[in-house]
Structure 1
């Protein structure tokens, strides 16, 4: 079997190497998954650049999103069996409830991830995937979809007729759009191009705001909502100040960590802006195994399919990273493992 390894964090793709290994064997409570597809995104670029808040173990197998089939199980494994189609959870120890520091072990940084032909995972670190999804589609779920589900549902899912505002057309925002429409919400999305705006409307967006033409886009959100503001804001791109000015009184801003790496819009917030919002500001860092199981039930019931931008073969992972870094795509970037 072959695996990619990040031998020198901080050098980007140049820090990756490919190694040959013997096929692994599972230990107690572990499973071996033949990885059929994995997914890449901005988070993975941060890891390669050594610009990530969690420790990165030199030599780690990168990639936190992937799906495949169980080919072997260790002693005391009862959740899954050989032949089961599964996806990996990003935080294998975060099973349910609020996130704790003890849950911080993450695939692709502190423990080996999914850019490999065979992955050894804990049985608690995999979930079944909906039957109607391909492996490539299922690989799109573990990070962006779970983050979107957590952002939308923790503390109560949107109600029919409520307004959800999501920022940008990245993976998290596309899932927010899809999930919020399933709940019957009105969805407003910000974007940067007419072409993306057209695709967002085709996915069900009720209103699309061009944030480049209107940097003070919170004013347009207020106008579109009769001055009330959005009941839920999912902020994955910033500026956070505009999100706080867009949210309704007693609403919520789910803050999805775009500030990492000094991203555009990551500037200090005036305490007065925070106070005047009169809303909850909640940091969101992916989600738990329980979140993943919940979203899978919704995906299966509605036969929802992720938006896939492009699929690269396993031997073109460096090219897939370069494509991600160039930006401009729409949907998840997938690596097919064959």
Structure 2
């Protein structure tokens, strides 16, 4: 079998493909023939060397993938040869709040999915919704689960009739838009161009704001919500000072990422006056993944895919994703 390898910080040119003997699953494990993987922002951080969690040397990268079980070890409860599956990013995180015991992560401290064959613990498997292709299913483990956690993981959750603000058109924001519409919410989306605004409207956004043309976009959010602000915000930029100006009193801000090493400080008086909850979201548990898939099945949702590359075009896929041109997920088909 073939696998890609890299060292954290080595960049795209550091990707190397190598041959290995086919692995054999042990007790409680399965062997998955990987059919597709997808790229998320965390993969660019691994390439640059600034991913926030440990990355082992010579790692097989990419957290997100899907495939078919082709062999099984002993002691399995439900997994069978032929099952179509994805795998959780944090294999040890089954349910409940995130803790230090859950830190091992696929494509970082553990080998990832950019390989033709992967050995995966049964406890980390998640069945693929029947109506999704392998390419579509490969987009779910990081961005989709993060978006689902951002909307539902605080115990209260987004409710019908509430307003959600999503930022930009990256993977997490697109999934949050789709989930929010399925949950009966109104969605406002910020974006950087008329073309992206049109596509976001096609996907269900009720209103769009060009943040390049509208410097004070939080004020526009309040105008669109009769002065109240958005009930929930999925913040993918880390510019929380802006989100606090756009959120409703006692609203919820899910901080799922950041775009630079620096950001304006948060004025504690503004935070206190907002009454808002600011919650850091790191993907989600297997239980949340399963709940999300039930919603995907119930509403027949399909992930937005921008482009699919071949396994031998992996470097091109990374370069295209890093260019920022994609609106939707970038997938590599095996």
* Counterpart contact for 2:69–2:84, Cα < 8 Å: yes
Report how many residues are paired: 333
Q: How much has 1:238 moved relative to structure 2? A: 4.0
**Which residue of structure 1 aligns with residue 137 of structure 2?**
138
What is the aligned counterpart of 2:298 among 298, 301, 304? 301
Q: How much has 1:145 moved relative to structure 2? A: 0.4
Distance 1:318 1:65 in 2: 16
**Which residue of structure 2 aligns with residue 173 of structure 1?**
173
3-state DSSP class of the match of 2:223?
Answer: helix
* TM-score, normalised by the number of residues in structure 1: 0.97
* Runs (5+) with no aligned partner, structure 2: none
| Structural mapping, 1:16-165, within 5 Å | 16-154=15-153, 155-165=155-165
3-state DSSP class of the match of 2:313?
Answer: helix
Aligned-residue Cα RMSD (Å) equals: 1.0
* Counterpart contact for 1:168–1:237, Cα < 8 Å: no
Moved over 4 A (4+): none
Structure 1, residues 184-215: CA drift from partner, whole Å, max 9, x if none? 10100100000000000000100101111112
Q: How much has 1:157 moved relative to structure 2? A: 2.7
Q: Does 1:279 align with 2:276?
A: yes
* Counterpart contact for 1:201–1:207, Cα < 8 Å: yes
**Which residue of structure 2 aligns with residue 257 of structure 1?**
257
Q: How much has 1:79 moved relative to structure 2? A: 2.9
Q: Does 1:270 align with 2:267?
A: yes
* Counterpart contact for 2:36–2:65, Cα < 8 Å: yes
Distance 1:247 1:241 in 2: 10
What is the aligned counterpart of 2:329 among 325, 332, 335? 332
Structure 1, residues 284-319: CA drift from partner, whole Å, max 9, x if none? 010010111001001111111000000000011111
Q: How much has 1:41 moved relative to structure 2? A: 2.3
Q: How much has 1:126 moved relative to structure 2? A: 1.1
* Runs (5+) with no aligned partner, structure 1: none
**Which residue of structure 1 aligns with residue 225 of structure 2?**
225
| Structural mapping, 1:231-250, within 5 Å | 231-250=231-250
Distance 1:267 1:123 in 2: 44
Q: How much has 1:42 moved relative to structure 2? A: 1.7
